[in-house]
């Protein structure tokens, strides 16, 4: 049988399950808005019972929350004249300004992961409730709050996006989930995308890790996001492959969709511009970039200038605007535990096949 995109991705997805990289996954590949490949494989849950995964299964998107929800929302506020990239982070938290040791970090630093803040911190072990999280950040030991001078290094950080999500809430006067629902998901018709998804959809939920006290099934896997009520700028979003296609299609059209736009062309261009070339930074605004000098989930054949993001639970989206190609891979690789590292290489293999046929 002649090789084809479908046959090769089918084989790869089945091999990923056989090798124990993930129990199940949905893959969706598009070019200029046309679906070139779609497949659902394996199980959405293997313990305490087996459930077959389907193409409309709802995944914990993990850190894809950062780009699909929080980055998009922040750029919308910039377009609305309510936020600038040069804003100091500390200026948006007047009640804590006296405690900041990291006072030079900007909104751009948060989005490019060059803020100086630590990568992560177990707020669930320190804060008494969600409202105290920013207070805990402001009072962190100086070595944790300001690990390096902002702009001089790149450290991928959940704290960056926890802060950015809270800034969005302060500016808009509403919760991050409500803002994103009304200004991103509804306009794009992303009807299966939300924080804290409706429990009526439980049969479509994809299980993630089995913790000692809970099975993550429709509840966010990330410990800090769970502590924060399931809504945070760094994690908490749930969605499907088709809804990711709707979102990506708009980005590939420079923010436009039929009937309007979620972002301007200028915002999209700035979003995928390398922000810190002097330190060989690999991020634009939120999005990871193929700079031509880095190794990443894009593999070996996606061109420099392509961009995307991954999520710890096993999710990925990768795009290239000139060709209009989008690669979406959603898996539950942390079910029932997070002990399988094979997803890193698997993503590269997946994108190599996609690029070899469509680019």
Q: Is 295 inside any structural domain?
A: yes
Structure pTM?
A: 0.97
Task: Look up residue 168 and give its two tokens.
Answer: 């969005």
Residues 6+ apart with CB under 8 A from 94: none
Tell me: do 322 and 268 sit in the same domain.
yes
Mark whether 44 and 116 lie in a shared domain.
Answer: no
Co-location of 250 and 324 in the same domain: yes
- Say yes or no: 160 and 206 in one domain: no
| The pLDDT of residue 274 | 98
Rounded to whole angstroms, the Cα distance separating 130 from 134 reads 9
Q: Is residue 178 part of a domain?
A: no
Q: Are residues 251 and 326 in the same domain?
A: yes
User: Over the stretch 167-203, which tens digit does the pLDDT of each residue have?
Assistant: 999 999 999 999 999 999 999 999 999 999 999 999 9
**What's the total number of domains in the chain?**
2
pLDDT tens digits, one per residue of 335-348 = 999 988 899 999 99
**Are 195 and 310 within one domain?**
yes
pLDDT averaged over the chain? 96
Pair 46, 79 in one domain: no
Range of the domain at 138: 73-172
Percentage, residues of the chain above pLDDT 90: 90
Separation of CA 202 from chain center: 22
pLDDT tens string 227-243:
999 999 999 999 999 99
**Count of Cβ atoms closer than 10 Å to residue 1 Cβ:** 4
Q: What is the mean pLDDT of residues 280-294?
A: 98
- pLDDT at residue 138 in the model: 86
- Whether 264 and 349 map to the same domain: the answer is yes
Q: How confident is the model at residue 115 (pLDDT cuts 50, 70, 90)?
A: very high
In angstroms, rounded to a whole number, what is the distance separating the alpha carbons of residues 236 and 246? 19
């Amino acid at each position: 049988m002649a090789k084809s995109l479908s046959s090769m991705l089918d084989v790869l997805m089945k091999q990923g399950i056989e090798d124990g990289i993930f129990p199940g996954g949905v893959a969706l590949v598009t070019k200029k808005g046309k679906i070139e490949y779609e497949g659902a494989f394996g199980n959405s849950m293997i313990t305490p019972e087996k459930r077959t995964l389907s193409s409309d299964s709802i995944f914990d998107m993990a850190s894809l929350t950062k780009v699909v929800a929080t980055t998009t929302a922040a750029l919308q506020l910039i377009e609305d004249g309510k936020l600038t990239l040069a804003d100091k982070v500390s200026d948006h938290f007047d009640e804590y300004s006296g405690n900041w040791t990291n006072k030079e970090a900007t909104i751009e630093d948060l989005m490019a992961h060059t803020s100086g803040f630590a990568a992560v911190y177990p707020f669930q072990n320190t804060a008494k409730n969600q409202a105290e999280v920013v207070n805990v950040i402001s009072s962190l030991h100086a070595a944790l709050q300001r690990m390096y001078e902002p702009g001089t290094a790149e450290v991928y950080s959940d704290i960056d996006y926890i802060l950015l999500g809270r800034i969005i809430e302060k500016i808009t006067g509403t919760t991050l989930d409500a803002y994103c629902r009304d200004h991103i998901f509804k306009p794009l018709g992303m009807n299966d995308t939300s924080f804290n998804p409706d429990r009526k959809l439980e049969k479509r939920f994809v299980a993630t890790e089995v913790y000692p006290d809970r099975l993550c099934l429709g509840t966010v896997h990330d410990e800090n996001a769970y502590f924060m009520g399931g809504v945070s700028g760094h994690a908490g979003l749930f969605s499907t492959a088709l809804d990711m296609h709707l979102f990506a299609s708009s980005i590939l059209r420079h923010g436009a969709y039929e009937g309007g736009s979620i972002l301007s062309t200028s915002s999209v261009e700035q979003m995928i511009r390398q922000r810190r070339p002097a330190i060989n930074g690999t991020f634009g605004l939120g999005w990871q970039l193929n700079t031509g000098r880095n190794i990443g989930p894009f593999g070996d054949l996606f061109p420099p200038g392509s961009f995307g993001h991954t999520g710890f639970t096993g999710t990925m989206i990768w795009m290239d605007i000139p060709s209009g190609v989008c690669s979406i891979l959603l898996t539950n690789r942390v079910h029932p535990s997070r002990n399988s590292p094979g997803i890193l290489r698997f993503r590269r293999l997946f994108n190599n096949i996609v690029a070899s046929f469509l680019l």
